[in-house]
Amino acid sequence: MGKTMKAGKPESSGLAIGLNKGFIVTRREMPQKPSHMKGRNSKRNQLVREVIREVVGYAPYERRMLELIKIGSASTFKRSLKLAKRRLGTH
């Protein structure tokens, strides 16, 4: 899951109204926040997750979804997505 960088705010126009309203200032280059690193996959983190998945295995609903996907028809794939949506709230 990669995070995308958002484009910065457009330059202010110096006017009190409009989309780019506001006082004109010089923008400073700020250091990257530690919160932007959240979710990044390191080698150690990936290894830990892999070992945990190996030891613990899959949840029952995950096993059922994998089984439905392995069957391979379009209807079973759709059913597996429906199952995921029901269990997780999304897929």
Q: In this predicted model, what pLDDT tens digit does every residue of 29-77 receive, in sequence order?
A: 999 999 988 888 899 999 999 999 999 999 998 899 889 889 888 888 8
The rounded Cα 46 to chain-centroid distance in angstroms is 16
Burial of 84 (0-12, 13-18, 19+ CB in 10 A): middle
Maximum CA extent, the chain: 62
Contact 65, 84 (CB under 8 A): yes
pLDDT at 1: 45
pLDDT level of residue 11 (50, 70, 90 thresholds): confident
Given a contact cutoff of 8 angstroms between Cβ atoms, the answer to whether 79 and 89 are in contact is: no
Alpha helix (H) residue ranges in the chain? 43-56, 60-71, 74-88
